[in-house]
Amino acid sequence: MTPHALLFTIAAIGISETSYLIQKRRAGVRPVCVIGEDCAKVLESKYNSLLGIPNDVLGFLFYAAVIVLNGSLVIDGALVRPWLQVIEIFLKIVILGGMGMSLSLFYLQWRVIKAWCFWCLMSAITTFLMGFIVLITNLAIF
């Protein structure tokens, strides 16, 4: 249960972070940059979306998917029981995809934009933390 609770908590933090960024973007207000002053430079760069979908929305969907898939594994109800293995594999693929996206955004901040954004780094840390949890526990229900 512990790895699922940890995944859930980290994904929930991600949900609150990305929803904050979405709200600020929709309101046309710059988000608070907790550490440093380069958040706006990164968030307003041409790399702030993928295929026309803003990165904050992609992040929200990623964290929501982790919560729904992880929640399905924990609930273990009759509806999802035949699909548990598929859900587990899909959850791992989603987290792997998130790590890939975070890695590419990390590279863009480091080498291309040459500025660091607190919220983007926090998202990268939470995503890699989720990958680390999956790697060391293999999502076993303890």
Partner 1 sequence: MEKASFHILRVGTGITFLWIGILILRDPEGWSGMILWWVRDVLGFFAPSPSGALVATAFLDIAVGFFMLIGVFTWIAALVGVLHLSLVLTVVGINLITVRDIGLLASALALLLDSMPDKYRFWTHKAQRSPAI
- Cβ(88)–Cβ(4) under 8 Å? no
What residues form DSSP beta bridges with 50?
53
Among 12, 58, 122, 129, the residue binding partner 1 under the rule CB under 8 A is 12
Q: Which residues contact residue 141 at a Cβ distance below 8 angstroms, ignoring those fewer than 6 apart? A: 1, 4, 73, 74
CB of 70 to partner 1, least distance (A): 9
For position 35 contacting partner 1 by CB under 8 A, the verdict is no
Give the number of residues written for the chain: 142
Q: Decide if residue 129 touches partner 1 (CB under 8 A).
A: no
For the CB of residue 15, give the shortest distance to partner 1 in the complex, in Å. Answer: 5
Minimum CB distance to partner 1 smaller for 50 or for 74: 74
Tokens 């973007």 found at: 25
List of residues 6+ apart from 103 with CB closer than 8 A? 124
- Interface with partner 1: number of residues (CB under 8 A): 16
Could you give the CA distance from residue 41 to residue 39 in angstroms, rounded to a whole number? 5
Site map 52..71 versus partner 1, x via CB under 8 A: ---------------x---x
74 is a site residue for partner 1 (CB under 8 A): yes
* Minimum CB–partner distance for residue 16 and partner 1 (Å): 5
Phi first, then psi: give them for residue 79, nearest 5 degrees.
-65, -40
Give me the residues that bind partner 1 (CB under 8 A), please.
Answer: 5, 8-9, 12-13, 15-16, 19-20, 23, 67, 71, 74-77
